[in-house]
């Protein structure tokens, strides 16, 4: 399963009401680091299929949502569990760093030190 493109209308259903861990990728088409991280998120979506949902939110088209979550730099990948933002990853980072955070929160941890 690939990341799902969503907008402000679908955000509540796909992210806040999800019954799995959700990675919300705030990105824009013109952003080079966003294009670097996209294939990594696609791989993670395949590897964690059924356990983690990955959604993509175009910040150019969903500015109110980006403002609501205080997105100041893209890419920003926010991690949501049970409708709450628990962490974020800013910038194009290596795959293992994203997987480490997923694994940490998938185990039920609440705050990453």
Q: What is the pLDDT of residues 4-44, one digit of tens each?
A: 999 999 999 999 999 999 999 999 999 999 999 999 999 99
Q: How confident is the model at residue 113 (pLDDT cuts 50, 70, 90)?
A: very low
- The domain ranges of the chain are 4-106
Q: How far apart are CA 102 and CA 64, in angstroms?
A: 26
| Catalytic (active-site) positions | 31, 34
- Say if domain 4-106 classifies as CATH 3.40.30.10: yes
How many other β-carbons are positioned within 10 Å of the β-carbon of residue 57?
27
**pLDDT value, residue 110:** 59
Which pLDDT score is estimated for 54? 96
Q: Model confidence at 108, in pLDDT bands (50, 70, 90)? A: confident
Closest to 28 measured CA to CA, from 62, 71, 59 = 59
């Amino acid at each position: 399963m690939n990341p799902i493109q969503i907008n402000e209308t679908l955000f509540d259903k796909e992210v806040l009401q999800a019954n799995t861990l959700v990675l919300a990728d705030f990105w824009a088409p013109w952003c080079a680091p966003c294009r670097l991280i996209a294939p990594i998120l696609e791989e993670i979506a395949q590897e964690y299929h059924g356990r983690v949902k990955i959604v993509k939110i175009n910040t150019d088209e969903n500015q109110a949502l980006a403002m609501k979550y205080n997105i100041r730099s893209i890419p920003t990948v926010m991690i949501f569990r049970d409708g709450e933002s628990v962490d974020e990853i800013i910038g194009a980072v290596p795959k293992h760093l994203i997987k480490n955070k997923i694994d940490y929160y998938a185990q039920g941890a609440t705050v990453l030190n």
